[in-house]
Chains A and B, each alone.
Chain A
C-alpha cells in the first residue's frame, strides 16, 4: 500500500503536521507552507459544511469499530489519481491521508489509526511539545516514516 501524504490538523483546523512520502518517486510537488495551511483550513471547513448538509435521517445507527469518529462530515475524496481519507478522533484531531488508487478504505483507516497511536506516544509524552502547536518531534517523524514504509 502506498501512502503519498499525511496531514494532521488540530481541532480548530490549524495544520500541525505535514509530510510527503517519497516525493520524487511519487511525483508530488512541494508547495509553500502557506499553501499547505490554506489546504488544511479548506479541508477542515468543507468537512464541517458537509456535516451540516447531511440530513439527519441518514445518520449512522450502528457503532463503528475503528475509532474513526468521522460519521457525517467529509470522509473521502476520490480522484483519478489518488484517494483522500479523513479520520477524526473524539478530541477533534483530524488525520488526513492521501493514498494511491487501489488502497482500500480499511487499509487507510488502519494506517491513520496507527498514526494516532504514534501521535499519542511520541507527541503527547514529549514535554517540549505544546498542545495544538506544529509538531517538531524527531521521533514522531521517524516512526511515521517507518509506518509508511511498512504498510
Chain B
C-alpha cells in the first residue's frame, strides 16, 4: 500500500511549519556563496567542496527535525526513500516538490529534477568563463542530502548533474546508494 506521501508533505508544511519570506533565505544563501567566492579567490572547485561540507553539517542536524515532525520509520527500499525525500523532505523545508526520475533497474540510483529552486531565485552566475563551467551554485543541497541520509545509516553519493544557472535545461541531482551501514543501525530495530 503506497502511502500518500504528497499529502503528508503538504500537511506537515501547511500545519506544522512556521514559514518565512523566501527572499531572506535566498539572499542569505547568496551572501554566503559570494563570500566564499571572495575567500577562495574564485577557485570554484574549493567553493563547491566548502558548500558541500557546510551542507553536510546542516544535513546531520536537519534529519532530527524531519524525523520529529514526520514520525517515519525505516524505509523498505530505496525507492521509498526517493519518494519521501522528494514529496515530504523537500516540501517541508523548501516548499518545492522535485520529481523523481531515471530510477535505475537495480533500484540504487535516481535523479531528482527541481523545477524551482528557492536557493537560486534571480541568481546569475558571474560572467567569467570559469563559473559557468565549474561552480555548482546550490551545492549545499548535495551536502544536506548526504549528511541526512548518513544519519539514517544510508551511504549515498550525491552530486549535481545539471543546473539551470549553467544553461542546462533543468536542475538535476543524482543520488546513488553505495551501501546500507548495517553496523551502525541502532540496536532495537528489527
Report the separation of the CA atoms of residues A20 and B146 in the bound assembly, to the nearest whole angstrom.
37
B-side interface residues toward A, CB under 8 Å? 60-65, 67-74, 151-152, 184, 186-190
19 CB contacts below 8 A, A to B, read A52-B187, A59-B190, A60-B190, A63-B73, A64-B73, A66-B71, A67-B67, A67-B70, A67-B71, A69-B73, A70-B188, A73-B187, A89-B68, A90-B67, A91-B67, A91-B151, A92-B184, A93-B64, A124-B65
Contact B188 A71 (CB under 8 A): yes
CB of A71 within 8 A of CB of B68, answer no
Q: Specify the chain A residue showing the minimal Cβ separation from B150.
A: A91
Count of chain A residues near B, Cβ 8 A: 35
How many contacts A-B (CB < 8 Å)?
Answer: 86
A65 touches B71 (CB 8 A): yes
> How far, in Å, is A100 (CB) from chain B's closest CB?
25
Q: Give A117-147 interface residues, CB cut-off 8 Å to B.
A: 117, 119-121, 124-125, 131
Residue from B61, B70, B151, B188 in contact with A88 in the complex, judged by beta carbons closer than 8 Å: B188
CA distance A125 to B63 in the complex (A): 12
Report A-chain residues with C-beta under 8 Å of the C-beta of B151.
90-91
